[in-house]
Amino acid sequence: MSLKAEEDHLVAEALKGAPYAWESLVRRYEGRVYNFGLRLTGSESDALDLMQEVFIGVYRNLHRFRSESMFSTWLFRIAHNKAIDLMRKNKPHLERSLSDMEGDDVLPPPLVEEEQPLEQLISKQQNAKIRTFLDSLSWEQKLLVELKVFQSHTFEDIAELENISINTVKTRFYTALRKLKKLLESSHDL
C-alpha cells in the first residue's frame, strides 16, 4: 500500500471515529508540525500551542479533506494558516514586519544552557543558533524560508499559499538568503 493510500485509509477510519487511526496520523506529523512551530515562534510553549491548534483544526476539518491532494500538503496548509493566526492575533509581539527589520543585523543574546544529555544539548544549541538566525528575519521572510528550505515547497505553491506573485516570493527569498548570509558572517559562523 502506498503512503498516500495508507493515509487516505487512516483518514477514512478516523472519520468513522477510530481512535487508533487518528493517533496514527497525529504521530506521523506531530514532529514536523512541532518543529515547524518551534522554528517560526522560537518558543517551545508557543510551538506546542500551535501544534495543538493545528491538529484541532485538522480534526475539525477532516471531513473536508479530499484525497486528490496529499494529506501532508493539506495539513501544512492548515499549519500555515494557524501559524499566521497565532502570530497576528495571539502573539503580536512575535511578529516583526519587513520595515522593522531594515538594517537590523544585531544578533539576539545567546540562549542559556541547561543540564541535558550531551547529544541533546549539542542538538539544542545548534537549533538555538538556527532559531536565533531565523528570528532575525521578518515574519514574512521567516515563513518563506520555512516553507522553501524546511518544507520543500515549490515557489509556485508558496505563491498560492501566501496569495502573492511568484516573482514576489523569489525576491523575498533572495533577500532573506542575503540577510542570513550577512548574519552568519557577522557571527563568524560561516
Partner 1 sequence: MTCERSSEIVVGLFDDQIGKSERAEFEVHVQGCADCQAQVDDARLVQARLIAWQDEPVPSWRRSAMVVPQQESVAWQQRLAFWRWAPLACSFLLAVGVILNVEFRSTTEGFVVAFGQSTGVSREEVREQLTALATSFESRREEESLRMIETVLGNVMRQYDDNNSRNLEQVIEYFDLQRQQDLQLLQSGYQQLADSDYDTIRSVQQLASYVQYQGLQ
Does 112 engage in binding with partner 1 (CB under 8 A)? no
Contacts of range 69-73, beta carbons closer than 8 Å, 24 or more positions apart:
70/4, 70/7, 71/4, 71/7, 71/8, 71/11, 71/25, 72/7, 72/29, 72/32
What cell numbers appear for 63 in the block? 471531513
Does 113 engage in binding with partner 1 (CB under 8 A)? no
Using only C-alpha atoms, the chain has a radius of gyration, in whole angstroms, of 18
**In this chain, which of 8, 12, 52, 132 binds partner 1, going by CB under 8 A?**
52
CB of 120 to partner 1, least distance (A): 9
Q: Are 40 and 146 in contact (CB under 8 A)?
A: yes
**In this chain, which of 6, 100, 105, 189 binds partner 1, going by CB under 8 A?**
189
Residue whose CB is less far from partner 1, 20 or 92: 20
What cell numbers appear for 141 in the block? 521572510
Binding residues vs partner 1 (CB under 8 A):
17, 19, 22-23, 26-27, 30-32, 34-35, 38-39, 44, 48, 51-52, 55-56, 59-60, 123-124, 126-127, 130, 133-134, 145, 148-150, 152, 154-156, 170-171, 173-174, 177, 180-181, 184, 189-190
